[in-house]
Amino acid sequence: MTSKNVHVKIDEMKTNAGLIKNLELSIGKVINDNYTEPMGPTPMPSVTALRDWDMKLLTKYKPFYMPDCDSCCLCTFGKCDLTAGKRGACGLDIGAQSSRIVMIACAIGSACHTAHSRHLVHHLIEKYGRRYPLDVGGLNVKVEAPVSRLVTGIKPETLGDLDDILTYTEEQITQILATAHTGQEANNLDFESKAFHIGMVDHVGMEVGDIAQISTLGYPKADPEAPLVKLGIGSVDRTKPVIMCIGHNVVPSVGIIDYAKDTKVDDKIEVVGLCCTSHDMTRYYTRARIVGPISWELRFIRAGLADVVVLDEQCIRTDVAEEAAKTNTPVIAASEKNCVGFKNRTNDSTDAIVEDLVSGKVKGVLVLDPEKVGEVAVRVAQAVAPIRKRKNVLPTAEEVVAIAKTCTQCKQCQRNCPQDYFIPAAMKAAAAGDLSKLTDLYEVCIGCGRCEQACPQKIAIHSLIVKAGEKSMECEDNLCRSGRGAVSDVEIRNVGSPIVLGEIPGIVAIVGCSNYPKGGKDVYDIAREFASRRYIVVLSGCSAMSAGSYRNSEGKTLYEEFPGGFEAGGVSNVGSCVANSHIAGAAIKVANIFAKRPLRGNYEEIADYIHNRLGAVGLAWGAYSQKAAAIGAGFWRLGVPVVVGPHGSKYRRMLLGRKEDPTNWEVLDARTGETVNVGPTPEHLFNVAETKEECIVQIAKLCMRPNDTWKGRAGKLSHYIDLHKRYLGVMPNDIHLYIRTMADVPITMKDEIGKILEANNWKETIIPDPTLLPRMVRKMK
């Protein structure tokens, strides 16, 4: 517990020890230093404090550039052509420029989370006070803020303590952004190191925000049995007024839910959410509904399903106001970060705001007081619903056919579709009266609306797709597990033995956004594949929603089919975007809990531990945002490999290991100091998978680590080989690189693999106590 500006004034006090008269004590800051762990080498690391570690990783996993854009137009020297080895006016080449853009993206993402957390912390301190104790998991969580402890050396105990942590993250974001200026950082690897740095900082920022809201808002606390909540627009009672909240910051939604409860209308309205706000709404109030990932904004608004739209921050379509106006849906902007051009009505009377919105005098308002947002939204929804009568802009089925007939098959829609879907073929079929192809598109469409922008005939293609999919849309009634928050210390201990003994082959974290190449079903399939194989599956954000949107042959959703714990075959949802920090936190806690490695300001050692020992892989099957880039970067610095879907190639570069180069795979054996070649474990730090099948195989392979026990390796290899055969049709060609002793060979495959080893001149090697840090080599006492 840290307190600021303490003043004590004693006029007179008599005690056994002495007499005190007119004592004034003024203390700038009182730090209650219960955190007895000695401070590690890098508390609050500066931009370069962990540069050596980054360079170790970047030597092993070299940037492989795939510039999505080969010019630079950031300054007025340009735009500069950077193709064919040319340098720009400032001297930068395409490699450094690509890495620079990665770094900028990560800084934007990190700023987004930190700003979100800063707002939450400000707001919650105002409401609950600086001394409000933090509690993320009661008695089952001793390590309450692993990322913050590791990076900043602070062990936060109260809301006020989070303030100091954010001060650090804010400074780092400023420092990093500064280096992107023209004529600053010159080297591509240094840009990468800075991207790693800001990714690390991002996880701190996220952790702060989620800890603050978990502690104050009564969310599930590290709870494997967090309630199952309704998911999908079909679960919404559309006879009631519907308030639809979009974004990431739960504060205005809390205002709405509180007002509805206080005025006892909570069972007369439906409060639903899109994107991470909806996760946090259900963590606060289980009757709230998650209606879908961020990419479904247009379909719901055009279908007229919302009576009021409330916008907070991040990942919100910037044309929501225009789209909502078409269906007479009033919009309330509730965040300073997204004012939508609306007039600021924060200080106006609620009655006046409600009247203006209900009468349609204004299309939207900016209200920066969450309690006022609550009252306005509830009252407007109730008043507007009977007037609007679910007005929508969807054509009738007959109109769809007629409109489709105006299509000239110029194919501009498909060319502009980020997914390259066969829209022209669907239009052709629709024109002939067959809407089935449009219905198929509904299932996979990411709702960006670029097809419409490109259409010379001005066809509202997206509306046609939504109309064709309307029936499926109305049936979307599934279940998601409410965000559980952190992984408890006890769960970490429970998985210790099965991980060591090879019963749990790995940990798969499925995170990120919803621009999947072929719809959310892939995410469901991937999660189910690994959960069935008794991997630990952890989800968050939009991926957690997509994973809950499908059912197995028995009609069970993923969250009903598998337990919600951090355990073999468990499928857990940590929560919203900021809850991603708990996934990194779980990895960090493994080092602290199993090996008792000190956390405090001890980043490099812990990252070295995680990189060499913990078979965890991150997957962002859809990864559109800068925030996703920042989250990924935070995992890179910890040495955790990340796989992205095809759109991830637009992050401009991959971090690829070269498995054919043996020197790439040398580690030190901490027992002896000897150099040992451990094979490509893990092979890459960041790479793209083009198909679901390739992705599944990649993940299984990337779970291998140099420290695997032979039992563990045999299990991991079994899955890798089986998945490779099943999905890619052949035996993998690199098995010999992963076998250290014959005991590593899966026992059912001894003959088969024995021949492969022979053909590759395989030689036995040892299983070291692996590290990349010479200082970790132990000395005999």
Which residues in 122-141 contact other proteins (CB under 8 A)? 131, 133-135, 138-141
- Which of the ranges 22-30, 268-276, 304-312, 379-387 carries the binding residues for other proteins, by CB under 8 A? 22-30
CA 75 to chain centre: 31
Tell the smallest beta-carbon distance from residue 672 to other proteins (Å): 10
Closest to other proteins by CB, 66 or 595 = 595
Interface pick for other proteins out of 597, 684, 692, 724 (rule CB under 8 A): 597
Number of residues that bind other proteins (CB under 8 A): 81
User: Is 748 a binder of other proteins (CB under 8 A)?
Assistant: yes
Q: Which residue pairs, CB below 8 angstroms and at least 24 apart, start in 254-258? A: 254/217, 254/284, 254/370, 254/374, 255/370, 255/371, 255/372, 255/373, 255/374, 255/375, 255/377, 256/310, 256/373, 256/374, 256/377, 256/378, 257/281, 257/284, 257/285, 257/288, 257/374, 258/371, 258/374
Find the shortest distance in angstroms from Cβ 592 to other proteins. 8
Residue 550 interacts with other proteins (CB under 8 A): yes or no: no
142 near other proteins, judged by CB under 8 A? yes
At closest approach, how far in Å is the CB of 108 from other proteins?
A: 34
The verdict on 747 binding other proteins (CB under 8 A) reads yes
User: 399 φ, ψ to 5°?
Assistant: -65, -35
With CB under 8 A as the contact rule, the residue among 750, 758, 765, 775 that binds other proteins is 750
Residue with tokens 């006029």: 11
* Among the residue ranges 115-123, 255-263, 308-316, 491-499, the one whose residues contact other proteins (CB under 8 A): 491-499
In angstroms, rounded to a whole number, what is the distance separating the alpha carbons of residues 296 and 386? 24
Q: By CB under 8 A, name the one of 5, 18, 386, 763 that touches other proteins.
A: 18
Which of 139/759 has CB closer to other proteins?
Answer: 139
Length of the chain: 781
Q: Quick one: which of 189, 454, 743, 757 contacts other proteins (CB under 8 A)? A: 743
Span interacting with other proteins, options 97-105, 305-313, 646-654, 716-724, rule CB under 8 A: 716-724
**Part of the chain binding other proteins (CB under 8 A), chosen from 28-36, 83-91, 282-290, 383-391:** 28-36
30 near other proteins (CB under 8 A): yes
Stretch in the footprint of other proteins (CB under 8 A) among 23-31, 290-298, 385-393, 650-658? 23-31
**Near other proteins by CB under 8 A: residue from 265, 393, 749, 757:** 749
Q: Which residues contact 205 (CB under 8 A, 6 or more apart)?
A: 110, 113, 114, 116, 117, 166, 169, 578
Closest contact distance (angstroms) between CB of 120 and other proteins is 20
The answer to whether residue 397 forms part of the interface with other proteins (CB under 8 A) is no
Residue 715 interacting with other proteins (CB under 8 A): yes
The span of 98-106, 456-464, 586-594, 632-640 binding other proteins (CB under 8 A) equals 586-594
Confirm or reject binding of residue 37 to other proteins (CB under 8 A): no
**71 versus 709: smaller Cβ distance to other proteins:** 709
711 binds other proteins, rule: CB under 8 A: yes
Binding mask 148-177 for other proteins (x = CB under 8 A): ---------x--------------------
Q: Which two tokens stand for residue 236?
A: 């919404």
Does 458 contact other proteins by CB under 8 A?
no
CA-only gyration radius of the chain, Å: 27
CB atoms near residue 413 (< 10 Å): 26
From the list 129, 218, 496, 673, which residue makes contact with other proteins (rule: CB under 8 A)? 496
Within 10 A of 322 (CB to CB), how many other CB atoms are there?
A: 13
The answer to whether residue 11 forms part of the interface with other proteins (CB under 8 A) is no
**Nearest approach, Cβ of residue 771 and other proteins (Å):** 9
Distance CA 213, CA 211 (A): 6
Least distance between other proteins and beta carbon 534 (Å): 5
Select from 733, 673, 679, 675 the least CA-distant residue to 706. Answer: 679
Contact in structure between 195 and 136 (CB atoms under 8 Å): no
Which residues pair with residue 244 across a beta bridge?
A: 272, 309
Residue 722 is a binding residue for other proteins (CB under 8 A): yes
Binding other proteins by CB under 8 A: which of 152, 587, 769, 772?
Answer: 769
Residues in region 520-539 near other proteins by CB under 8 A: 532-534
29 lies in the binding site for other proteins (CB under 8 A): yes
Report yes or no: 470 and 441 within 8 Å, Cβ to Cβ.
no
Q: Smaller CB distance to other proteins: residue 483 or 746?
A: 746
752 binding other proteins? (CB under 8 A): yes
Nearer to other proteins, 143 or 378 (CB): 143
Location of structure tokens 């075959």: 569
What count of other Cβ atoms lies within 10 Å of the Cβ of residue 194?
Answer: 29
Distances (CA, A) of 627 to 111, 319, 460, 578, 763: 9, 21, 30, 10, 44
Please report whether residue 1 would count as binding other proteins according to CB under 8 A: yes
Pick the piece of the chain touching other proteins (CB under 8 A) from 201-209, 241-249, 317-325, 496-504. Answer: 496-504
Tokens of 743: 């005991």
Q: Which stretch binds other proteins (CB under 8 A): 346-354, 373-381, 484-492, 621-629?
A: 484-492
The 10 Å Cβ neighbour count of residue 658 is 16
Q: Choose, by CB under 8 A, the member of 374, 746, 756, 772 that binds other proteins.
A: 746
CB of 711 to other proteins, least distance (A): 8
Instruction: Kindly state the DSSP code that residue 204 receives in the 8-state scheme.
Output: H
Tell me: does residue 24 bind other proteins (CB under 8 A).
yes
Selected from 101, 242, 403, 590, the binder of other proteins by CB under 8 A is 590
CA distances from 346 to 122, 335, 364, 376, 539 (A): 18, 11, 13, 11, 37
Asked if residue 781 binds other proteins (CB under 8 A), the reply is yes
Residue 708 binding other proteins, by CB under 8 A: yes
Between strands 364-366 and 331-333, the pairing is parallel
Report the candidate in 198, 50, 148 with the shortest Cα–Cα distance to residue 607. Answer: 50
Q: For residues 498-517, which are near other proteins according to CB under 8 A? A: 499-501
Q: Is 33 in the site for other proteins (CB under 8 A)?
A: yes
Beta strands at 507-511 and 536-540: parallel, antiparallel or unpaired: parallel
Q: Which stretch binds other proteins (CB under 8 A): 65-73, 251-259, 577-585, 714-722?
A: 714-722
The piece of 15-23, 510-518, 536-544, 682-690 that touches other proteins (CB under 8 A) is 15-23
Q: Does 188 bind other proteins (CB under 8 A)?
A: no
Is 757 one of the binding residues for other proteins (CB under 8 A)?
Answer: no
DSSP characters for 715-776? HHHHHHHHHHHHHHSS--S-GGGG-SSGGGS-GGGHHHHHHHHHHTT--------EES-GGG
Q: Which of residues 620-679 bind other proteins (CB under 8 A)?
A: 670-671
Backbone angles phi, psi at 577, to 5 degrees: -50, -50
- E strand or H helix that includes residue 11: strand 2-14
Which of residues 455, 689, 714, 773 is near other proteins by CB under 8 A? Answer: 714
Sign of CA dihedral 333, 337, 340, 341: positive
DSSP state of 713: H
User: Largest Cα–Cα distance in the chain?
Assistant: 98
Q: How far is residue 275's CA from residue 309's CA, in Å, rounded to a whole number?
A: 13
Provide the terminal-to-terminal Cα distance of the chain, rounded to the nearest Å: 39
**CB nearer other proteins, residue 153 or residue 715:** 715
Considering the complex, state which of residue 125 and residue 767 has its C-beta at the smaller distance from other proteins.
767
As given in the structure block, the two tokens for residue 433 are 């009266």
* Candidates 17-25, 68-76, 101-109, 687-695; binding stretch for other proteins (CB under 8 A): 17-25
